[in-house]
A and B are shown apart, each in its own frame.
Chain A
């Protein structure tokens, strides 16, 4: 593997809790010792349920917040060691796309101004070239150049997300982090934006970190997948391997809970424990159907090479049931759906 574009080393971030008098009362252990690397030109997905720390990890990676412990390396360079000026220059290489297309654009700025802002901020092109670059970016995300003169409120959620993507791409970033970038969209519009992201990743050679709870979307565009539970990684593997042969019981439970493939396994019981006082030992042991004494006592290490998992029993678990190809519509449906591929959109 070539040198990773982004490397997270043993990151830890606790958010202190205070009582009414301002005294410290424990902390939310949002991210607790996560190491990950993202190879150039690949898509890493970070998945997990709400509160598992995936968004915090994304913000740490962009250095929007500082870790308590650990380091973030971008092209081998420690972001913490950079001067403020050097960090600012680095910012153009790293962009973030948020979930909420309604909150992420300034309502007082035209679409064109919103997209041009990063161009000016990083002095990427002379002002005279701005309009042309904005038009090019709008076309790149499937909008008409005339959109530049209009206001965000004139656009639908899906269109706003396209605008947010155009803005994120303006500075030619090498790394884009999308925090639930399609979660707020309806399925038909979500499909358009997922297709767009897949095209952009391929055509621009983007390195992309996709933070998502939607395993279907993850399967569709990720090369590697990292699964988080209560602030820690429980499994990390090539997407293909993770979906075909998940090793960690939590990953298996997540896959089994995705609706639409029949009700075979009884659902996982209980709620996710509080990240303020996570269980000792394996953090998943309170809900794990396989847990043994060792799981309650010792924290399992993340072991393996290309496919890593943090489970004491991973070598003794029965094989995961295969994902059944649940496609009752068959060939007829596939042929009908082929009419829904707009001609020339593969450009």
Chain B
């Protein structure tokens, strides 16, 4: 396993009290595979990713275990995290503009990473930066390498970020909504590029998205999060064929499809809970059409099938249909 997260919990100190953003999250990713974390805004996807990168802000407290290629990271000092981050883990964010330095050219920024991690000289680093830009299919890479971020389109900036991530040959690539800010035709290019690079480098990929279509096309395994917890975890094909958590069922029916479909979308009533005052027991209960008296207790994440786990007292859901 490249990354193994067990019982991860993250609590933020806020002026309205402690906020448990991530609560008991566990999953693992192997080399050459893509694990998607999917869920709606605020469910803890990014906080999980930041924890796995050792990038949580100062007001966060973390518990649980984060193992990177077998080595426990959760207890590491900041300096050691930093060293590993460049070497073994790389991250691509939603908005490349905020992670690129506007004062340096695309080539200079990639070269800087190479100088640090590969100890290349200035000239050699810049040449390799151009080669990397070419590899992420930036046309006319030598010219683009000399341009500043604001001179590049959104899609090109995201390619620069990916080139920078690749510069340190990571074992683990975490991509947090890497295409959410892009147009759909450019999104398709970037996702195809990430797939191709994963095949070439054998890196493990954690892909964070709120789009189940992207999960279907690009993920091997999926973690569905709801209000800081794992609702369901399964191989992607299995999740779409036999979802076993009511939230997953609702999400699958809520996204309108270009093939058409029922005249009314499945509607998950209400809104996501306030994490400062989460509901007791199953966090989905206030919105769940299958809830019962037992849902006042928290359902454990339990396997319904090897590799397929769900946190719902009703699972397997076929029992609901039989009733």
In the complex the two chains form, is A258's CB within 8 Å of B213's CB?
A: yes
Residue A267 contacts which of B188, B259, B261, B287 (CB distance < 8 angstroms)? B188
Bound-state Cα–Cα, A282 to B181, Å: 27
Bound-state Cα–Cα, A50 to B182, Å: 9
B259-273 vs A, Cβ < 8 Å mask (1 yes, 0 no)? 111011111110110
Within 8 A of A (CB), among B294-322: 317-318, 320-321
In the complex the two chains form, is A340's CB within 8 Å of B258's CB?
A: no
In the complex the two chains form, is B259's CB within 8 Å of A323's CB?
A: yes
Residue A192 contacts which of B216, B269, B317 (CB distance < 8 angstroms)? B269
Decide yes or no: A187 and B214 within 8 Å by CB, A158-B271, A257-B188, A329-B243 being known contacts.
no
Task: Write out the residue numbers on chain A whose beta carbons fall within 8 Å of the beta carbon of B95.
Answer: none
In the complex the two chains form, is A326's CB within 8 Å of B259's CB?
A: yes
Interface size class of A (residues with CB under 8 A): 35 or more
In the complex the two chains form, is A50's CB within 8 Å of B183's CB?
A: yes
B252 beta carbon closer than 8 Å to chain A: yes
A193 CB to closest chain B CB, in angstroms? 10
Q: How many residue-residue contacts, CB under 8 A, span A and B?
A: 174
Task: Write out the residue numbers on chain B whose beta carbons fall within 8 Å of the beta carbon of A261.
Answer: 213, 216-217, 258-259
Decide yes or no: A339 and B185 within 8 Å by CB, A191-B254, A323-B258 being known contacts.
no
In the complex the two chains form, is A341's CB within 8 Å of B264's CB?
A: yes
Residue with the highest number of chain B CB atoms closer than 10 Å, among A243, A263, A268, A340: A340
Bound-state Cα–Cα, A266 to B218, Å: 14
A104 beta carbon closer than 8 Å to chain B: no
Decide yes or no: A260 and B212 within 8 Å by CB, A49-B184, A337-B266, A339-B290 being known contacts.
yes
Bound-state Cα–Cα, A257 to B188, Å: 6
Decide yes or no: A253 and B185 within 8 Å by CB, A187-B255, A219-B257 being known contacts.
yes
Within 8 A of A (CB), among B228-287: 237, 240-243, 246, 249-261, 263-269, 271-272, 287
A131 beta carbon closer than 8 Å to chain B: no
B275 CB to closest chain A CB, in angstroms? 14
Residue with the highest number of chain A CB atoms closer than 10 Å, among B242, B249, B272: B249
Stretch of A2-10, A17-25, A210-218 lying at the B interface: A210-218
B208-225 vs A, Cβ < 8 Å mask (1 yes, 0 no)? 001111101110000000
In the complex the two chains form, is A188's CB within 8 Å of B254's CB?
A: yes
In the complex the two chains form, is B263's CB within 8 Å of A198's CB?
A: yes
A84 CB to closest chain B CB, in angstroms? 39
Decide yes or no: A216 and B256 within 8 Å by CB, A186-B40, A259-B191, A260-B216 being known contacts.
yes
Task: Write out the residue numbers on chain A whose beta carbons fall within 8 Å of the beta carbon of B318.
Answer: 332
In the complex the two chains form, is A195's CB within 8 Å of B156's CB?
A: no
The closest CB in chain A to the CB of B249 belongs to: A336
Bound-state Cα–Cα, A318 to B271, Å: 46
Interface size class of B (residues with CB under 8 A): 35 or more
Decide yes or no: A186 and B41 within 8 Å by CB, A253-B185, A336-B249 being known contacts.
yes
The closest CB in chain A to the CB of B181 belongs to: A50
In the complex the two chains form, is A187's CB within 8 Å of B40's CB?
A: yes
A54 CB to closest chain B CB, in angstroms? 12
In the complex the two chains form, is A215's CB within 8 Å of B258's CB?
A: yes
B150 CB to closest chain A CB, in angstroms? 14
Within 8 A of A (CB), among B54-93: none
In the complex the two chains form, is A339's CB within 8 Å of B289's CB?
A: yes
Task: Write out the residue numbers on chain A whose beta carbons fall within 8 Å of the beta carbon of B210.
Answer: 186-187
A255 beta carbon closer than 8 Å to chain B: yes
A314-338 vs B, Cβ < 8 Å mask (1 yes, 0 no)? 0000000001111111101101110
In the complex the two chains form, is A219's CB within 8 Å of B256's CB?
A: yes
In the complex the two chains form, is B267's CB within 8 Å of A257's CB?
A: no
A298 beta carbon closer than 8 Å to chain B: no
Within 8 A of B (CB), among A225-270: 243, 253-263, 266-270
Write 26 A-B pairs (CB below 8 A) sorted by A numbering.
A50-B183, A187-B254, A188-B267, A190-B254, A192-B269, A216-B258, A243-B259, A253-B185, A255-B258, A257-B185, A259-B187, A259-B188, A259-B191, A260-B214, A261-B259, A263-B192, A266-B192, A271-B155, A325-B259, A329-B242, A330-B241, A332-B321, A336-B243, A336-B246, A339-B290, A341-B266
Shortest beta-carbon contacts, A-B, top 4: A260-B213, A259-B213, A267-B188, A216-B256
Given A156-B271, A220-B256, A340-B253, 20 further pairs, Cβ under 8 A: A50-B183, A158-B271, A186-B40, A188-B250, A188-B267, A191-B266, A219-B256, A243-B258, A259-B213, A259-B216, A260-B216, A261-B213, A261-B216, A270-B139, A271-B153, A326-B259, A340-B266, A340-B268, A342-B269, A345-B264
